[in-house]
């Protein structure tokens, strides 16, 4: 039995890991293998409690979502969905490094960083262009060296622009692919390399879009000119599956998250300029409304944490049901 529990099929990490920089080899082993007896959960805990009266029943579900002691990197973390998801990981306990293009972040980031600091969390900003592979690798390597670990990654940096598919210029198409597909790969690589370096069974979340699986109507006032965006997001969904298969033996999980229409600066550029577009988009899902960025807090916390340890290679759609009809 002991040998079976040590085998890769039971590889698991304890709920709250010690920072690896302060771990010796033995505790590093336990941080990445099976749950300790005291961390028994679910029915196994109930059965153990029956045979061992010293084991006190306790609700563990929310602690399975805990990111205490963990380190996360989030690209596109200056604003919008990236920042909202970064804040969620931060509230769950992680130290979070937000990477984005601009040299310094704006008011939205600063207010969020100040807020989470008051919660006793650390949130930092790092200026990185995700289209530059070495720049991203180096930035995340520095974070790994400083923190002694990288546990979670959200690759959320993205851009959106469009022309008719028969008119799309090569440079414009390339630009979208460079950020949305190549940049996501470089970010996932950068985090995965640190997870591998510190032997951490981390979680990588690639932000795709429902537009990677369907071509939604009325993307720009009635036409459908987002061929580059849709193509780039489709590639991200397959990238997650492919990386999940390659990194599974290392215990590193890779999933994609595909949101539906959510009001952010990216979509506001269309919603604020095309009259009635917001109402049209709202009617495209069964809930009859646009999503809010905070409606992704739960799913990213789940994906980044031990609450989802058997989930990899999946595309999680959060669309208000847009994809359901
Ligand atoms: N808003 C939606 O409805 C929606 C739906 C599905 C998917 N998404 C995806 O979610 C992600 C976040 O989108 P958002 O709506 O928050 O948009 P946003 O424009 O508010 O945020 C995108 C962020 O990416 C950053 N970025 C762009 N190019 C970069 C680069 N080269 N290097 C580093 N950072 C860069 C931007 O500076 C910005 O902070 C994107 O990948 C987007 O495609 C959004």
Mean pLDDT of 281-293: 96
Domain boundaries, the chain: 2-61, 65-324
What is residue 220's predicted lDDT score, i.e. its pLDDT?
Answer: 62
Per-residue confidence at 22, pLDDT binned at 50, 70, 90?
A: very low
Cα 265 from chain centre? 19
- Is 283 an annotated catalytic residue? no
Altogether, the residues listed in the chain come to a count of 325
Asked if 100 and 127 count as a contact pair (C-beta separation under 8 A), the reply is yes
Distance 259 CA to ligand 1 centre (A): 12
Mean pLDDT of 11-29: 40
pLDDT digits (tens, 9 = 90+) for 209-260: 999 999 877 666 556 689 999 999 999 999 999 999 999 999 999 999 999 9
Asked if 201 and 195 count as a contact pair (C-beta separation under 8 A), the reply is yes
Mean pLDDT of 161-176: 92
Asked if 112 and 325 count as a contact pair (C-beta separation under 8 A), the reply is no
Which is more confidently placed, 313 or 20? 313
Helices (H), 42-182: 42-51, 61-64, 80-91, 107-118, 133-147, 170-177
Measured by CA distance, the residue closest to atom 36 of ligand 1 is 76
Which is more confidently placed, 269 or 243? 243
What is residue 6's predicted lDDT score, i.e. its pLDDT?
Answer: 41
What is residue 222's predicted lDDT score, i.e. its pLDDT?
Answer: 58
Angstrom distances, CA of residue 131 to CA of 84, 182, 234, 288 = 22, 6, 18, 36
Closest to 131 measured CA to CA, from 61, 56, 185:
185
Q: Is the pLDDT of residue 17 over 50?
A: no
Task: For helices 133-147 and 183-197, give the axis angle rounded to 10 degrees.
Answer: 30
Architecture in CATH of 65-324:
3-Layer(aba) Sandwich (3.40)
Least confident segment among 38-42, 57-61, 62-66: 38-42
Residue with tokens 């600063």: 110
Ligand 1 atom closest to the Cα of residue 207 is 41
Count of CB atoms situated within 10 Å of the CB of 26 = 8
Q: Is the pLDDT of residue 3 over 60?
A: no
What is residue 224's predicted lDDT score, i.e. its pLDDT?
Answer: 64
- Is 115 an annotated catalytic residue? no
pLDDT digits (tens, 9 = 90+) for 170-183: 999 999 999 999 99
Q: Is the pLDDT of residue 106 over 70?
A: yes
Six token digits for residue 259? 């949101």
What is residue 144's predicted lDDT score, i.e. its pLDDT?
Answer: 98
Angstrom distances, CA of residue 239 to CA of 186, 244, 255, 303 = 11, 8, 9, 17
Which protein residues touch ligand 1 with a CB less than 6 Å away?
Answer: 75-76, 78-82, 100-101, 128-131, 156-159, 179, 183, 207, 209, 259, 261-262, 264-267
Query: What is the Cα gyration radius of the chain?
Result: 21
Per-residue confidence at 32, pLDDT binned at 50, 70, 90?
A: very low
In angstroms, rounded to a whole number, what is the distance separating the alpha carbons of residues 151 and 13? 11
What is residue 39's predicted lDDT score, i.e. its pLDDT?
Answer: 79
Q: Is the pLDDT of residue 12 over 50?
A: no
In angstroms, rounded to a whole number, what is the distance separating the alpha carbons of residues 185 and 155? 8
Asked if 202 and 152 count as a contact pair (C-beta separation under 8 A), the reply is yes
Q: Is the pLDDT of residue 29 over 80?
A: no
Is the Cα dihedral 59, 248, 124, 300 positive or negative? Answer: negative
Phi, psi of 227 (to 5 degrees): -60, -40
pLDDT, the chain, mean = 89
Distance 156 CA to ligand 1 centre (A): 6
Mean pLDDT of 141-152: 98
What is residue 270's predicted lDDT score, i.e. its pLDDT?
Answer: 86
Distance 279 CA to ligand 1 centre (A): 22
In angstroms, rounded to a whole number, what is the distance separating the alpha carbons of residues 238 and 315? 9
pLDDT digits (tens, 9 = 90+) for 147-158: 999 999 999 999
Asked if 274 and 221 count as a contact pair (C-beta separation under 8 A), the reply is yes
Per-residue confidence at 18, pLDDT binned at 50, 70, 90?
A: very low
């Amino acid at each position: 039995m002991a040998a079976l529990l040590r085998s890769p099929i039971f590889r698991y990490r304890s709920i709250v890991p010690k920072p690896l920089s302060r771990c010796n080899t033995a505790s590093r082993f336990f941080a990445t293998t099976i749950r300790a007896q005291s961390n028994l959960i679910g029915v196994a805990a109930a059965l153990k409690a029956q045979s061992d009266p010293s084991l006190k029943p306790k609700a563990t579900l929310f602690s399975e979502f805990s990111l205490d002691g963990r380190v996360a990197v989030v690209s596109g973390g200056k604003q919008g969905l990236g920042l909202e998801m970064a804040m969620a990981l931060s509230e769950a306990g992680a130290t979070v490094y937000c990477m984005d293009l601009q040299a310094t972040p704006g008011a939205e980031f600063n207010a969020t960083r100040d807020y989470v600091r008051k919660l006793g969390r650390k949130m930092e900003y790092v200026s990185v262009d995700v289209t530059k592979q070495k720049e991203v690798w180096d930035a995340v390597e520095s974070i790994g060296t400083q923190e002694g670990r990288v546990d979670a990654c959200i690759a959320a940096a993205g851009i959106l622009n469009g022309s008719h598919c028969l008119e799309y210029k090569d440079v414009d198409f390339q630009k979208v692919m460079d950020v949305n597909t190549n940049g996501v790969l470089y970010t996932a690589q950068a985090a995965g390399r640190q997870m591998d370096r510190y032997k951490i069974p981390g979680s990588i979340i690639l932000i795709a879009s429902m537009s990677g699986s369907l071509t939604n109507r009325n993307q720009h006032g009635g036409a459908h000119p987002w061929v580059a965006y849709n193509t780039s997001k489709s590639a991200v969904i397959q990238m997650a599956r492919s990386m999940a298969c390659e990194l599974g033996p290392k215990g590193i999980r890779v999933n994609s998250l595909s949101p539906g229409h959510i009001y952010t600066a990216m979509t506001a550029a269309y919603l604020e300029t095309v009259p009635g577009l917001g109402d049209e988009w709202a009617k495209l899902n069964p809930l009859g409304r646009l999503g809010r960025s905070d409606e992704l807090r739960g799913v990213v916390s789940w994906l980044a944490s031990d609450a989802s340890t058997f989930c990899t290679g999946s595309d999680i759609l959060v669309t208000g049901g847009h994809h359901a009809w």
